[in-house]
Amino acid sequence: MASLTYFNGDWHTEDPPIMTAGSLASWLASTVFDGARAFRGVAPDLDLHCERVIRSALSFGLKPFLSATEIEALAWEGIRKFPKEAELYVRPMYWADDGFVAPDPESTRFALVLTEMPLPKPTGFSACLSSYARPAPHTAPTDAKAACLYPNAARALTEAKAKGFDNAVVLDLLGNVAEFATANLFFVKDGVATTPIHNGTFLNGITRQRIIKLLRADGTEVVERVATFPEVLDADEIFSTGNFAKVAPVNRIEDRNLQPGPVAKRAYDLYFSFAGGD
């Protein structure tokens, strides 16, 4: 079973059609989602991901009709349909079918998709500076995990891959570091971990927040502040946090090679110790 979808009150093993060509979601991107992970019988911070998809929906003017608790219960129902060793991507999503530019909240729909997707090994990835920037809060719905924000991230990724890199460092409109194209960013200098302060141009990631708490409790100094790309280039180590890979080290930034560092390794170990599971 590669994928399982809950839609219209039933579980589907095939990929059910959920939008028509006339749906506002397929036409004008009135879609929000979230992503959680399930593995080894656990789903760390699943409740927080379910709460965030509700906030995203409300930010879009949608009318979520399932509570975060109900979504979490459905997610666990679906997770238990897979083998315990399966590594899953858990994606609840809300969208509007009707409206004109602005969604009609009464047309809000919901689906929950669980897909087998192995966790990447923490072997490292390369990154370069992107020419694309994260939008400001007054120019895009940056407070939501919204599908309409991802084409710009895709452009940053496409640009990076064309240059021979795996990912891209994206700046905000003031020229300060925001995040990677697909995850939050940390860098380490002289044992101090720094991550760009949440300024509304990128999501304050759930895994980001978890790693900050875990590292601080473990005795590592973590600073949230404005950061520049030259600081990232000069760092002793760089790593990402996000739902897909959780913690992943950078092994090359522009033309500079790096080794996965001790803080990134500690963050990885602390996270999976926190997550638990068999």
User: Which of residues 85, 116, 147 is at a domain's end?
Assistant: 116
pLDDT > 80? residue 45: yes
Number of domains into which the chain is organized: 2
pLDDT > 90? residue 136: yes
Is residue 15 domain-shared with residue 96, that is, in the same domain? yes
Q: What value does the mean pLDDT take over residues 257-273?
A: 96
What pLDDT score was predicted for residue 6?
98
pLDDT > 70? residue 278: no
Instruction: Kindly provide the b/e burial profile for residues 93-121, where b requires at least 16 CB atoms within 10 angstroms of the residue's own CB.
Output: bbbbbbbeeebbbebbbbbbbbbebebee
Is residue 269 domain-shared with residue 189, that is, in the same domain? yes
Is residue 145 domain-shared with residue 190, that is, in the same domain? yes
Is residue 193 domain-shared with residue 161, that is, in the same domain? yes
What pLDDT score was predicted for residue 57?
98
Residues 6+ apart with CB under 8 A from 277: 39, 40, 41, 42
Q: How far apart are CA 152 and CA 158, in angstroms?
A: 10
pLDDT > 90? residue 49: yes
Do residues 94 and 68 make contact, with C-beta atoms less than 8 angstroms apart? no
pLDDT > 90? residue 277: no
How confident is the model over 159-191, as pLDDT tens digits?
A: 999 999 999 999 999 999 999 999 999 999 999
Is residue 110 domain-shared with residue 174, that is, in the same domain? no
Q: What value does the mean pLDDT take over residues 62-84?
A: 97
Is residue 79 domain-shared with residue 183, that is, in the same domain? no
Q: How far apart are the first and last CA of the chain?
A: 21
Q: What is the mean pLDDT of the chain?
A: 96
Is residue 143 domain-shared with residue 106, that is, in the same domain? no
Q: What token pair was written down for 167?
A: 């990912």
> Among residues 210, 12, 53, which one has the least CA distance to residue 2?
12
Q: The CATH number of the domain where 176 resides is what?
A: 3.20.10.10
Q: What is the pTM for the complete model shown?
A: 0.95
Q: The CATH number of the domain where 103 resides is what?
A: 3.30.470.10
User: Which of residues 116, 133, 163 is at a domain's end?
Assistant: 116
How confident is the model over 85-113, as pLDDT tens digits?
A: 999 999 999 999 999 999 999 999 999 99
Is residue 110 domain-shared with residue 141, that is, in the same domain? no
Residues 6+ apart with CB under 8 A from 37: 43, 44, 87, 88, 89, 90, 119, 243, 244, 246
Sign of CA dihedral 175, 176, 180, 181: negative
3-class state of residue 184 by DSSP: strand
> Among residues 196, 257, 258, which one has the least CA distance to residue 225?
196
Is residue 111 domain-shared with residue 148, that is, in the same domain? no
What pLDDT score was predicted for residue 1?
59
User: Which of residues 94, 116, 138 is at a domain's end?
Assistant: 116
Is residue 100 domain-shared with residue 165, that is, in the same domain? no
Q: Where are the beta strands (DSSP E) in the chain?
A: 3-7, 10-12, 31-33, 36-38, 88-96, 99-100, 102-103, 108-116, 125-133, 167-171, 177-180, 184-189, 192-196, 222-225, 237-242, 246-253, 256-257
Q: What token pair was written down for 91?
A: 């994606």
Is residue 132 domain-shared with residue 202, that is, in the same domain? yes
Share of the chain above pLDDT 90, in %: 98
Q: Which residue range is the domain that position 183 belongs to? A: 125-275
Is residue 90 domain-shared with residue 132, that is, in the same domain? no
